[in-house]
Amino acid sequence: MVTEQNDERAKLASQYIADLDAEKTLSEYRKMIDANPVDVVVGIITVQRNFRNHQMKYLTQVMAQLDRLFRVDTSFSQKVLFICNTHAGPGVHQEAIKLAQYFPLFSRFPNGSSSHVILDQFEKEKQDYAFCLKTALGYQPKYILLIEDDALPHPDMFGTVRYVLDHAVERLRNSGLQLDDQHKWAYLKLFYPEKWQGYAKEFELCLELLALGVLGGWVSLCAFLLCLSHTRRPHYSTTPQRLAFMLGACYMIFFAVLVGRQNLLEFRRLSYGLYRVKAAPQCCTPAVLYRSCVVSDLVDHLDRTKCTKRAPVDLVIDAYTVKHNFRNYVIEPNLFKHIGYISTLKGPARDPSFFI
């Protein structure tokens, strides 16, 4: 089921890319590189990954979608896009090489030699990430959006990010106020796994569920009073009203838990103003927007730190921001869909349902 859906997306993306004028498209993106100043650099970190000799074409899907967004977006006036190829070998990243006809490509291992393979894949992942951050920083942008090659952007990704930056994350900074350390921020995560976005034993999420219950209670009470107003018999007891409120609240809470918070979050896509920004968890780097002013020190920190299975790159990055008192944010609902059923570190995912 997952591979069939992926193959269908890959087929459509491949056709979209094939319909582009390669020379003209590459020229357009190279002109963007010469822009100054640059608002945001978008880098796609990629390695070759096949499953049982089957090409998943994650990178092709992501680049096709990003090209569509770049052509219509007006939220960021000056943008730069590049593919960051970190495939070490053996052989070459054929998909990335093919896409280099259309998009700028930078390779960490230009020769694709297997001699460059680092035994510890977690350490290699960190070094790859640092290399792509350095490459993006060379354009001197205001923001750096680093995307893994299996993170498919939402059609309204750029517009939402611009709104969230202006009205939430950067609001105080843009007002011209002198800010203290508590208003410093390092990154905004644009994806967090749906399986962990449900209702959990967290105070904030419990309050959210309680608020939904109160809403359901008031709706139920209003409906009860409306029906009561059409009857001729006076009612002096408040017990039926309390019962109506409690039943409505319980029903709404039960409904929310049954449907799942992940699905209810989709209603927030109705308006930019409904998107929610909260403190970011430690996990996951499929799509992260960095303030470029922190990236240089962050890269130095990554170079000094060895990553392992117990200390992967996302936890090391979080440790750096905690050490320097940076705030980090995550946006809900997700602005990217994780389509990478085949992981570069763990192979096929245990639960395919999250990639449908």
> Average pLDDT for residues 29-36, to the nearest whole number?
86
233 and 337 together in one domain:
no
Strand partners, 332: 276
Q: What percent of the chain has pLDDT over 70?
A: 85
Q: What is the mean pLDDT of the chain?
A: 87
145 and 44 together in one domain:
yes
User: Is 241 in contact with 224 (CB distance < 8 Å)?
Assistant: yes
Confidence of residue 234 (pLDDT cuts 50, 70, 90): low
Of 32-41, 70-79, 337-346, the one with minimum mean pLDDT is 337-346
Classify residue 270: in a domain, yes or no.
no
- HSE-CB at 263 with a 13 A cutoff on CA atoms is 6
* CATH number, position 112: 3.90.550.10
> Average pLDDT for residues 167-194, to the nearest whole number?
73
227 and 167 together in one domain:
no
251 and 304 together in one domain:
no
Classify residue 50: in a domain, yes or no.
yes
Length of the chain as a residue count = 356
Cα 73 from Cα 240, distance rounded (Å): 54
**Strands 185-189 and 287-291, bridge-based pairing:** antiparallel
33 or 156, which is more confident? Answer: 156
Classify residue 117: in a domain, yes or no.
yes
235 or 77, which is more confident? Answer: 77
Q: Assess whether pLDDT exceeds 60 at residue 230.
A: yes
Cα 218 from Cα 236, distance rounded (Å): 19
Domains in the chain, number? 2
Classify residue 268: in a domain, yes or no.
no
Classify residue 133: in a domain, yes or no.
yes
User: Is 144 in contact with 134 (CB distance < 8 Å)?
Assistant: no
Cα 205 from Cα 182, distance rounded (Å): 23
User: Is 84 in contact with 134 (CB distance < 8 Å)?
Assistant: no
Output the pLDDT for position 177: 44
Cα 199 from Cα 206, distance rounded (Å): 7
3-state secondary structure of 59: helix
Query: Per residue in 264-290, pLDDT tens?
Result: 999 999 999 999 999 999 999 999 999
193 and 209 together in one domain:
no
Tokens encoding 229: 């107003």
Q: Assess whether pLDDT exceeds 60 at residue 178.
A: no
345 or 164, which is more confident? Answer: 164
Query: Per residue in 102-155, pLDDT tens?
Result: 999 999 988 766 555 566 889 999 999 999 999 999 999 999 999 999 999 999
Output the pLDDT for position 176: 47
Classify residue 325: in a domain, yes or no.
yes
Classify residue 267: in a domain, yes or no.
no
**Domain residue limits at 85:** 2-197+276-355
Last residue of a domain, one of 234, 259, 284: 259
How many angstroms separate the Cα of 143 from the Cα of each of 39, 133, 160, 270? 6, 11, 15, 26
Query: Per residue in 293-305, pLDDT tens?
Result: 999 999 999 999 9
> Average pLDDT for residues 55-67, to the nearest whole number?
95
Query: Per residue in 184-208, pLDDT tens?
Result: 899 999 999 988 888 877 777 888 8
Output the pLDDT for position 350: 53
Q: Is the peptide bond before 155 cis (omega within 30 degrees of 0)?
A: no
Output the pLDDT for position 272: 94
100 and 169 together in one domain:
yes
119 and 193 together in one domain:
yes
Residue 181, phi then psi, degrees to nearest 5: -60, -30
Classify residue 266: in a domain, yes or no.
no
190 and 325 together in one domain:
yes
230 and 351 together in one domain:
no
Output the pLDDT for position 342: 64
126 and 255 together in one domain:
no
Tokens encoding 277: 């920004």
188 and 302 together in one domain:
yes
86 and 189 together in one domain:
yes
> Average pLDDT for residues 74-91, to the nearest whole number?
91
